Amino acid sequence: MSQSSRQELRRWFARVDSRFMGHPIDIDPNDAILWAMRIEAGEVAYCEAQITRLSEDELFEIPVQEELVELPSGRVEYITVKRGVEQMNRWVTWRDHAVERMARFAKMAIDVGIEQRQIELAEQQARELVVVITAILTDLGHDLRDMKTRDIVRKRLMEGAIDVDPAHVRAVA
C-alpha cells in the first residue's frame, strides 16, 4: 500500500471512527455492569409490553418451515414443508433470556459490591454536606445550638429528600 493510500485511509478512519458500532469509550467497570443491567431491564420491559398485546391464542406458536417451489404451471409459490412443535411465543422466549442476562449482571454487581460502594459514597456525601451546611450557617452568624435554626435546617433537608427522585440519586452516585 502506498504512503498516500495509507494517509487517505487514516483520514477516512478519523472521519468515520465514531460512527461504527464498537467504537471504544472510557467506562468504569462498575458503570459497565450497571449499564448492561439497565439495557437488559429495558429489553425485559419492551418484551413485557409486547407480551401484554398478545391475545390468548397468540401465546403459543407453531413454527412453520416453508420452501419455494416451482409449480408445473411455472408459477413459484411458498409451500409448507414442516410444522414444528408448539412453543411459547418468541416475545416470551426473548423476555426470559433478557431476564436471565439481567440477573447475571445483577449478580455481578452484588459480587463486586457496587451497591455497598454506592451506599458508602452517599454516606460520605452526606457527611460532606453537613460540613458545608455547618460552615455556611456559621459564616452567616447563626447559632447551631439554636433549636429554631436546627428545626429550619432539618425541615428544609427533609423537603429536599422528599423531592429527590431515588433513581436520580443512584445514577449520580
Cα radius of gyration rounded to whole Å, the chain: 29
pLDDT, residue 107, reads: 93
Q: Closest Cα to residue 58, out of 95, 90, 93, 99? A: 90
Say what the pLDDT of residue 122 is: 87
The pLDDT value given to residue 38: 95
Q: Do the beta carbons of residue 51 and residue 95 sit within 8 Å?
A: yes
**Please, which residues bridge with residue 88 across strands?**
60
Question: What one-character DSSP code corresponds to residue 68?
Answer: E
Q: What is the pLDDT of residue 121?
A: 87
How many helices (H) and strands (E) are present in the chain, helices listed first?
A: 6, 4
The pLDDT value recorded for residue 105 is 94
pLDDT tens series, the chain, 173 aa: 788 888 888 887 777 766 666 677 888 888 999 999 999 999 999 999 999 999 988 888 877 778 888 888 888 887 767 777 788 889 999 999 999 999 999 999 999 888 888 888 888 998 898 889 889 988 999 888 899 888 888 888 888 767 655 555 454 44
State the helix-helix crossing angle for 114-139 and 29-52, rounded to 10 degrees: 110
Q: Which of 48, 20, 41 is nearest to 109 (CA)?
A: 41
* pLDDT the model gives residue 164: 56
Rounded CA separation 156/115 (Å): 27
